Amino acid sequence: MQKQKSFDSSSIGQLYLVPTPIGNLEDMSFRCVNSLKEATIIASEDTRNTQKLLNHFEIATPQISFHEHNYKERIPQFIARLEAGETIAQVSDAGMPSISDPGHELVEACIESGIKVIALPGPTAGITALIASGLSPQPFTFYGFLPRKKKEQVEILEQLKTAIPTQIFYESPHRIGTTIKHFSDVFGEERKAVICRELTKIHEEYLRGTLAELRDYLAEHTLKGECCLLVEGASELEPIENEDLELSIKEHIDVLMNTGSTSKEAIKEVAKLRGLKKQEVYKEFHVE
């Protein structure tokens, strides 16, 4: 078991991980404002974006850029300043540092150097969307951004298809339609999902439905604002009985129809239980 190295608080500085609002400035806590004011420097993902926040709360602490393109250069500089007794507050453009944003490598370096890391609680899009989604809030898995290339994305989705927890993803509004289509192809059309966009802002919106319904909606509508996508876990789906798994698709449909379901209802149910498209089940049912 790794233990954090001992440190002398009188001579070594501390790293504060400070969450920033994901849309509504009123979500900034008093503690976060004071931490930014009292820090020696602020390590910012985008200094121009963060300056707007600092101006709003009258924070005069100087900034230094810290992002995915310069973190290897910056980390040794920050460690040296922390070891000299300075306090650094690290922020991302919005939400929690390290969550799909820079920060993790700096935290690792501080722990290795015996520098205290203090995380402040605050806004984070994934959890905020989860508790209002209507999907099971626990267990859940946060994935973040999926790969952009179709092949890589589909490979990941195949691995996640049978995962039990509710799954949380981030996605660009320009790619959300394509991503939902891939989910529908892999997870099946009837899996429930929720798209949340513009969290905490005036035009905050939750789109709830099956993957097929969301796919069809996005085929005709364009979304704006960063999106949070939540997909129900496999545990929320009705279990498939072992004997049903051994049946062919046509036999499975016949079993449901013998219990009173119409062919349309049976096809829809089999597609849901087996994670298939309704068209695929329909073709199998009508094979001579």
pLDDT tens readout for residues 171-206: 999 999 999 999 999 999 999 999 999 999 999 999
The whole-angstrom separation of Cα 63 and Cα 41 is 6
Does 219 share its domain with 277? no
- Same-domain pairing of 80 and 175: no
Question: Do 32 and 88 belong to one domain?
Answer: yes
Within this chain, do residues 25 and 106 fall inside the same structural domain, yes or no? yes
| DSSP-assigned letter for residue 120 | P
Residues 224 and 262 in one domain: no
Tell me whether residue 9 is in a domain.
no
Q: Which residue has the tokens 């007794």?
A: 85
CA 247 remoteness from chain centre: 37
Residue 259 pLDDT: 74
- Reported as a single tens digit per residue, the pLDDT across 114-126 is 999 999 999 999 9
Q: What are phi and psi of 166, to 5 degrees?
A: -60, 135
63 inside domain: yes
pLDDT at 31 over 70: yes
Which range, of 1-15, 47-61, 82-96, 225-239, averages the lowest pLDDT? Answer: 1-15
CATH number, domain containing residue 147: 3.30.950.10
Predicted TM-score (pTM) of this structure = 0.76
Range of the domain at 264: 242-285
Same domain, 276 and 205: no
Cα–Cα distance measured from residue 195 to residue 208, given in angstroms and rounded to the nearest whole number: 7
> Considering the domain boundaries, does residue 66 fall inside one?
yes
Check whether residue 26 and residue 109 sit in a common domain.
yes
Does residue 270 lie in a domain region?
yes
At 256, the pLDDT band (50, 70, 90 cuts) reads: confident
Long-range contacts of 205-209 (CB under 8 A, 24+ apart): 206/129, 206/132, 206/133, 208/133, 208/134
Of 77, 97, 119, the residue that ends a domain is 119
pLDDT digits (tens, 9 = 90+) for 128-179: 999 999 999 999 999 999 999 999 999 999 999 888 899 999 999 999 999 9
CA atoms within a 13 Å half-sphere pointing along the CA-CB vector of 274: 22
Same domain, 230 and 129: yes
DSSP state at residue 121: P
User: Half-sphere exposure of 43 toward its Cβ, with a 13 Å CA cutoff?
Assistant: 30
- Residue for token digits 């976060």? 32
The residue among 282, 247, 287 whose CA lies nearest residue 268 is: 282
The answer to whether position 266 is within a domain reads yes
pLDDT of residue 245 exceeding 70, the answer is: no
Structural domain contains residue 185: yes
Count of domains forming the chain: 3
The verdict on residue 144 lying in a domain is: yes
Nearest to 43 by CA among 100, 86, 99: 86
Q: How many CB atoms lie within 10 A of CB 222?
A: 9
Give the residues across from 229 on adjacent strands. 169, 195
CA 254, CA 166: separation in Å to the nearest integer? 32
Predicted local distance difference test score (pLDDT) of residue 4 = 52
> In this structure, are 88 and 43 located in the same domain?
yes
Which CATH number fits the domain that encloses residue 110? Answer: 3.40.1010.10
Which pLDDT does position 10 carry in this prediction?
52
Q: Does the structure show a pLDDT above 60 at 231?
A: yes
Name the maximum alpha-carbon separation found in the chain: 82
